[in-house]
Amino acid sequence: MLKSIKQELRHRLKEATSDKKVSPGTAIRPSLSHEAGTDGPPYVEPDCSHSAREDIEAALVKFMDAFNSGNAAAVGQMYTDDAALLLPDGKRVDDRKGVEEFWQGAIKAGMKNLTLKALEVEGSGNLAYEVGAFTLGVPSKGGALSTVAGKYLVVWKKGDHGTWRLHRDIWNLGAAE
């Protein structure tokens, strides 16, 4: 029985990929109806390995737009309800409201021109992590902006509606590479 399932699976894989119905890297397994002994199409599990990166990079653009336009509420909405900021040399900031208040303080202090760049993104299921680099304009005592650079690590969590939100966020100054 197992040998016949393997043969059928090989046959269906060859058939599916020859018609270009399945992309490389896609996992295929027999359908439940096939496992029950009836003939049915194979179950095709989509290859979503690139999806988390694309979604997170799109979220970074929204984050930068919201921050750079001074919209701390929009920045806060990008975090999970139980998010945490792990500040360099500072106390942990918990929950979406606390995160929003933190970013509002940064905006009011004159920070601007935030850039974010994802260097690594890996994910599985509803969790992903991102390692990235940032630059940020920070006002000096005289009022002139100086640009600081740093690196960050974010744990992203995908919600029920498929939206990736920042769940844990930590950063520090210094070159990312």
73-124 pLDDT, tens digit per residue, is 999 999 999 999 999 999 999 999 999 999 999 999 999 999 999 999 999 9
For residue 86, the cross-strand partners are: 92, 170
- Tell the residue number behind the tokens 């979604």, with chain if given: 55
The structure's pTM equals 0.72
> How far apart are the C-alpha atoms of 37 and 33, rounded to whole Å?
7
Q: What pLDDT score does 41 carry?
A: 52
Model pLDDT, residue 42: 53
Tokens matching residue 77? 């909405």
pLDDT tens digits for 13-35?
445 444 434 444 444 444 444 44
| Residue 129 reports pLDDT greater than 50 | yes
pLDDT at 51: 84
Query: How does residue 177 score in pLDDT terms, banded at 50, 70 and 90?
Result: confident
User: Which residue type is seen at 81?
Assistant: D
pLDDT, tens only, 30-66: 444 444 454 555 544 444 444 899 999 999 999 999 9
pLDDT confidence of residue 143: 84
Range in 26-35, 131-140, 153-162 the model is least confident about: 26-35
Q: Which amino acid is at 148?
A: V
Residue 9: the pLDDT is 45
Q: Please name the helix (run of DSSP H) or strand (run of DSSP E) that holds residue 100, with its range, or none.
A: helix 95-108
